[in-house]
Structure 1
Amino acid sequence: MKYRTYLLLVVATAFWGVGFPIAKIGVEYIHPFSFAFLRFSLVFVLFVLFFKLSLYNLAEKLFLNFKLLFLMALTGIFLYGIFFLFALKFAKASDVSLISGANPIITAIIAWIVLKERLTPLGVLGICVSFVGIAFIVSKGDLKTITTLNFNLGDFLMLLATTMWAVYSVITKKALRGLSTTEAVCLSSLLGALIFLPLAVFKGNLHLTYPFKAWASLMYMVLFSTIIAFSAWYNGIKEIGATKASVFVNLVPVFGVITSVVVLGESLSFYEVIGGLFVIVGVVMTNKRVSGEHRLQKQ
């Protein structure tokens, strides 16, 4: 059973990691606004069908939890979607996936500020190590790039996207007190799609005659990177808990980089290897903070 659980978690992180280069293919043909609108509209519809959710119950939950759900949609769907998809237009998919690996670090900082979650000296050190890795990736190995603010726009946008996802994660912790995870993701996807709708229509040249590879990219992000990955991830968490499962997040940038090299033909640079290692080591150190807290709570 444990090996099956580990397999589920690896599958989820693989689908998320592969999503970076796959989404990059999609936004070459579909405007990011339209891509995001179509993705989250389909996510909502398929979530309702796949999980057999009651529309009446969803409407009631939306009314009772509208403020939190709107904030989730604004940060984790709308702002994250804009920054992420435009980052893919300006930066290598491998760089974008590596920068995304810092999400647990940024989440830990925001949770410390907003939720007053405890940070140990090891956790602080892990945050510093990860940010050194991010700086190495963003500067392409030349730290003078940061002091002169001469870095790639896509890398900067991905940092903003990662921050928005971290804010979304913290808000989700509060929202889940009155909603199931499935309901929260489903309803925030609906609101996110509605926010994207006017931009998709008036700025995104929305239509349905995109080439096959664009639709294939979109459907991958809907089916594999969202619904299947979501299901596998939370089934894994049910078996071994969120603390142990969080370690598997480190595989996301690994799968992202490998797929970017294989699918898009991107070259793997020295700065990406060094920076990626720093990010992953920092995340592991910060996760030790979480494990320590859980042990204290059990005593």
Structure 2
Amino acid sequence: MTASSTTSSVRPTSPPRMSAEVRGLALGLLGVAIFAVTLPMTRLAVGTPEAPGMSGVFVAMGRAALAGVLSALLLLAQRAPWPARSDWPALALTAMGVVFGFPLLTSIAMRYVSGVHASVLVGVLPLATAAVGALLHRQRPSAGFWACALLGTGLVVLFALLQSGGTGLSLHLADMLLLAAMACGAMGYAYGGRLSQRMRADRVICWALVLSLPLSLPLAALTWPAAPQSTAAWGALGYVAVFSMWLGFFAWYRGLALGGTVRVSQVQLVQPFLGMLVAVPLLGERLDAMSVGFGLAVMATVLIGRRMPVRAPTAAH
């Protein structure tokens, strides 16, 4: 055998490709990082009872309307095909969850609670998303997976109880609105993640937003603020419209489709503490050692839960 033939027989090895699950988790984390800024930005837009800003309805519908117009322009530029008739019910449920339910409920509630307090309650969202996702995809998470999910959620609840001081955790109307928002978000995440398995992730949220325009656009116009608003409030509205309502879902739904809704949803366990970190400089709120400690503990449950098996549905014979 000649040297040249020996050399030609050696083929360079390409670097191993990142697995679909790891890519899904990475994209999910990017989406969560974008979403973590949503509640503090919403608080900045709606203000406080002492210094009210935009109405919660305007913030919710304004972000949906702006993102809907951007979605329509993108779909036209891409010459995107219309969704199949069978996809419209799931798109409607996605819109009900993440275009109307979650934004409306959180925007109304955020005038009455701090960014840190609201970020804590977001901790129930991963478990809710995993539960809805498991039902939709007929997946069977292992007992260890559910134990990690429950442990992470329990840590978040314990944190809320400890932070409430001697008065206990007061479940006032704003808290109830936020918990209802988590249920809406879980539904929208799960249905949108399932659609992303057969549609492009960016088109899932774009079609959901375009479907919502006949309601979001007139409601935004009817609730337009009568009084002048600060530059900071308009900037916050711009963020929740372009990033929270639109671009963040490009990464999030793609991550759910690649890594599985049940598993990738657990990345949301870090969202409360990312939100707290943002609320400190943005809203002037305080972050103490307890918050940091609980944040590290919750992130540890995410890392452990990622290693727990999630069984796919058994194929029928």
Q: TM-score band (shorter)? A: 0.7 to 0.9
Note if 1:69 corresponds to 2:88. Answer: no
> Offset of 1:283 from its aligned partner?
4.0
Q: 2:66 aligns with which of 34, 38, 42?
A: 42
Could you report, residue by residue, the CA deviation over 1:17-74 in whole angstroms, capped at 9, with x for unpaired residues? 223212211122221111122211211222343462337x34xx27553322211111
Q: Which has the higher contact order (CA 8 A, sep 6+)?
A: 1
Secondary structure of 1:266 counterpart: coil
RMSD (CA atoms): 3.7
Alignment correspondent of 1:95: 117
Q: Which runs of 5+ in 1 are unaligned?
A: none
- Aligned pair 1:53/2:72, yes or no? no
Query: What is the CA deviation profile of residues 83-105 of structure 1, one whole-angstrom value per residue up to 9, with x for unaligned ones?
Result: 22123222211222233244222
Secondary structure at the counterpart of residue 89 of structure 1: coil
1:86 pairs with 2:86? no
- Pick the aligned partner of 2:248 from 224, 229, 239: 229
Task: Tell me, yes or no, if structure 1 residue 214 matches structure 2 residue 238.
Answer: no
AA aligned to 1:170 is A
CA distance in 1, matches of 2:122, 2:286: 19
Output the amino acid matched with 1:54.
R
Aligned to 2:50: none
Count matched residues: 285
Contact 2:145 2:310 in 1 (8 A): no
| Aligned sequence identity (%) | 21
Greater helix percent: which structure? 1
The one of 180, 184, 203 aligned to 1:164: 184
Kindly report which structure 2 residues correspond to 1:120-269, keeping only aligned pairs within 5 A, or say none.
Answer: 120-141=142-163, 150-176=170-196, 178-197=198-217, 199-200=219-220, 204-205=223-224, 210-231=229-250, 241-242=258-259, 249-269=268-288
SS at match of 2:279: helix
Residue identity matched to 1:214: A
User: Deviation digits for residues 208-254 of structure 1, max 9, x if unmatched?
Assistant: 9543222211111223334443445577789xx42696675444333
C-alpha distance in 1, partners of 2:245/2:236?
Answer: 13
2:259 is aligned with what amino acid?
A: A
What residue is the counterpart of 2:14 in the other structure? Answer: none
Structure 2 unaligned residues grouped into runs of 5+: 1-16, 48-52
